[in-house]
Amino acid sequence: MVTKTLSIVFVASEVDGLIKSGGLADVAKALPKSLKEQGHNVQIVMPAYKTIAGRDDAEITLTTQLEHWPHTAYQVRSLNVDGISVFAIESGDYFERTEMYAENNQAYPDNGERFAFFSAATLDLLPKLLGKAPDIIHANDWHTGLIPYLLKKRYAGNDFYHQTRSVLSIHNAVFKGIFHYDEIACLSEFKSHFVPEASISHTHISMLKAGVQCADKINAVSPNYAKELLTELGSHGMASDFQDRESDLIGILNGCDYSEWNPEKDSYIPKQFKANRISMVRGKKACKAALQQEVSLPQKDVAMYGMVCRLTNQKGIQYLLPILEQFLKNDLQLVIVGTGDPVLATHLTEIAQEHSDKFAFVEAYNNKLAHWVEAGSDFFIMPSEFEPCGLNQIYSMAYGTLPIVREVGGLKDSVNNYDDDVENATGFSFKNPEPMELLLVLMRSLLLYSQNLNEVKRVQLHAMKQDFCWNKAALKYIEMYRTAINS
Ligand code: GLC
């Protein structure tokens, strides 16, 4: 059977390799790459933020304006990430800022207009730059939620797009892109204050809702998160929207970009290592010592716990803080790396000052250090309140670092709990969002480390051998694209 090569336009607000604040960027780099490796044509569209490396030297391939009112001028720069071409939309009004979404933890007041413009401009530029319409436009999260809506409404009956289908990936439904109608008056369709596909009240709309209502197919970034989205609690209040689309909603677990996260080839870490016992033990030992030195912890052969995350309640810091000092009474070390909520950062800084012999908190977004923590830790803590997929637990396993997770979202799909299935275990997990439950599972892991280090090493090696390659996930995306095309 000859299967048709698909042309896919992948639209995201951030793409690793150019700019990154979270896991969305990792997916926006790795998934297009994997789709291309499987023979499809892929093009990325993103905003040309002023801080993107190499932006100003990139060729301008289009200088134009939105065809629809208001006729906002913009240009398109051609960039490249890992062999995938990127159209980056440059606009003096919207993207010439220091940050992508927020400064000093305050969202830009015109984010509604910025991402409404981004979505409208994406659909405006494709006919101007591509000879042929894509089969699929793949939108991601609220920033691009208006694309499926505009494609269905603004471009209904449009010759160029009449065969194009849209899909929407939900990486995090807690962010819904809620704005007052007046904030997105730059889209003429919203002037009436009556857009049922997007409305959440008489005054406000949700860009994510518009995407969920209008995309031809929707996927959550793990099967378990797809199930959670059908519930009131797990959908962060959008259950009825997802229930309406249940037959078009699936879950696809994210993959791991092993060209970036592979201890055998990782050029950041001080000693590379393979998935065999001798190499792993030697490599992790050297990486632990280097990590201790880097974050000024004493050089000691103790259990090392790591955590790399945005400092938000989503990541479960609120369960860790109440029990942290209790946990630190034990013989162990802990390194936390991350930025975000200043209140959480202050708490962590204070505790780190009190326990500087055991706990280092590095308030930074630092990719090299993230690799060092993954490689040099024995355990990786991820007690998330909710977690659509989570990538760090997958990176951890690749480095023989056992994730300690809450059984939620994609964490549940990707980590096998030691106490449920010793043989196939790849980490530890707990159920209820309670500090005491987290403390118990942390103590459980420490007990195993102090009483049966050999067993910890066996489980670490087993974790290293798991395969979350993107190609498996990409095949599922391709299947979803084909069902969207045939629907
Ligand atoms: C978001 C989610 C995270 C997921 C990532 C990539 O950051 O919070 O769970 O892994 O998107 O899909």
Q: What digits encode the pLDDT tens for the residues 8-62? A: 999 999 999 999 999 999 999 999 999 999 999 999 999 999 999 889 999 999 9
For residue 109, the CA-to-ligand 1 centroid distance in Å is: 24
Question: Ligand 1: which of 144, 170, 221 to mutate, judged by most atoms within 8 Å of the beta carbon?
Answer: 221
Torsion angles phi and psi, residue 7, rounded to 5: -110, 125
For residue 23, the CA-to-ligand 1 centroid distance in Å is: 5
Ligand 1 in reach of 390 Cβ (< 6 A): yes
Ligand 1 in reach of 222 Cβ (< 6 A): no
Span 354-359, average pLDDT: 98
Ligand 1 in reach of 221 Cβ (< 6 A): yes
Report which secondary-structure segment, H or E, holds 83: none
For residue 30, the number of C-alpha atoms closer than 13 Å in the C-beta half-sphere is 22
For residue 1, the CA-to-ligand 1 centroid distance in Å is: 36
Question: Ligand 1: which of 172, 236, 311 to mutate, judged by most atoms within 8 Å of the beta carbon?
Answer: 172
Nearest residue (by CA) to ligand 1, atom 5, is 23
pLDDT band of residue 2 (cuts 50, 70, 90) is low
Nearest residue (by CA) to ligand 1, atom 10, is 390
Torsion angles phi and psi, residue 47, rounded to 5: -75, 145
Sequence-ordered list of residues with C-beta below 8 angstroms from that of 146, at least 6 positions apart, any chain: 115, 116, 119, 120, 187, 198, 207, 210, 211
Closest atom, ligand 1, to C-alpha of 26: 6
Q: Can you give the pLDDT at residue 68? A: 84
For residue 479, the CA-to-ligand 1 centroid distance in Å is: 21
pLDDT tens digit string along 154-166?
Answer: 999 999 999 999 9
Answer whether residue 170 shows pLDDT above 60: yes
pLDDT band of residue 85 (cuts 50, 70, 90) is very high
Ligand 1 in reach of 22 Cβ (< 6 A): yes
Q: How many residues does the chain have?
A: 487
For residue 159, the CA-to-ligand 1 centroid distance in Å is: 35
Span 361-370, average pLDDT: 95
Ligand 1 in reach of 171 Cβ (< 6 A): yes
Q: Can you give the pLDDT at residue 104? A: 85
Q: Where are the domains of the chain?
A: 7-255+470-486, 277-464
pLDDT band of residue 425 (cuts 50, 70, 90) is very high
Least trusted range by pLDDT, from 69-78, 377-386, 417-426: 69-78
At residue 168, the 3 state secondary structure works out as strand
Span 426-446, average pLDDT: 98
For residue 385, the CA-to-ligand 1 centroid distance in Å is: 13
Kindly report the CATH number that applies to the domain delimited by 277-464: 3.40.50.2000
* CB-CB contact of 403 with 380 (8 Å): yes
Q: Is the dihedral of CA 255, 260, 263, 269 positive or negative?
A: negative
CATH superfamily of 7-255+470-486: Glycogen Phosphorylase B; (3.40.50.2000)
Q: Can you give the pLDDT at residue 81? A: 96
Answer whether residue 481 shows pLDDT above 90: yes
Ligand 1 in reach of 412 Cβ (< 6 A): no
Nearest residue (by CA) to ligand 1, atom 12, is 171
Mean pLDDT of all residues belonging to the chain: 97
**CA-CA distance, 226 to 205, in Å (whole number)?**
23
At residue 112, the 3 state secondary structure works out as helix
Reading the block at residue 278, the tokens are 């001798």
Answer whether residue 80 shows pLDDT above 80: yes
For residue 341, the CA-to-ligand 1 centroid distance in Å is: 18
For the entire predicted model, the pTM comes to 0.95
For residue 390, the CA-to-ligand 1 centroid distance in Å is: 5
Span 62-81, average pLDDT: 94
Q: Specify whether the backbone of 105 is left (phi greater than 0), alpha (psi in -120 to 50) or beta.
A: left
Q: Specify whether the backbone of 193 is left (phi greater than 0), alpha (psi in -120 to 50) or beta.
A: left
* CB-CB contact of 24 with 43 (8 Å): no
Closest atom, ligand 1, to C-alpha of 169: 12
Ligand 1 in reach of 145 Cβ (< 6 A): no
Reading the block at residue 174, the tokens are 């807690």
Q: Given this chain, do its domains 7-255+470-486 and 277-464 carry the same CATH topology?
A: yes
For residue 160, the CA-to-ligand 1 centroid distance in Å is: 33
Ligand 1 in reach of 224 Cβ (< 6 A): no
Ligand 1 in reach of 23 Cβ (< 6 A): yes
Span 211-240, average pLDDT: 97
